Amino acid sequence: MPSSAEPTENRTDLPARELLKLYDELTALHAGSAFVMQALAAAQVYGGGLDERSATGAVFCAQWLNDRTVELERRLKDIVSEAYASTMVAGS
């Protein structure tokens, strides 16, 4: 028979799993950001700037990176709120 502590433990495990998933996504986002920044810097240093097609691509990449960052920040806030709520329930 499951103990009454198991549901609380499962709830507190959820933020840990979500944080690990979020960490993986943030790491991938960081790698994408670094790649774009290096490409833009190289275009300025070695290529004298960007052509229209590359500039358009850079704008779309920057917007995508920004949108992903906003979404990940929202998810992180949700995880923190959930962890805080679980801590308050466990402390009651």
Specify the pLDDT at position 43: 85
13: confidence class by pLDDT, cuts 50, 70, 90:
low
Give a yes or no: residue 2 inside a domain: no
Q: Calculate the CA 54 to chain-centre distance.
A: 26
The predicted pLDDT at position 1 comes to 43
Q: Is residue 1 part of a domain?
A: no
* Number of domains the chain is built from: 1
**Position 42 in a domain:** yes
* Tens-digit pLDDT profile for residues 17-53: 888 888 899 999 999 899 888 888 888 888 777 888 8
Tens digit of each residue's pLDDT (9 = 90 or more) over 51-74:
888 888 888 988 999 999 999 999
Nearest by Cα to 86 from 21, 22, 8 = 8
Query: How far is the CA of 8 from the CAs of 4, 76, 78, in angstroms?
Result: 8, 20, 18
pLDDT at 6: 46
Q: Which domain holds residue 34?
A: 7-91
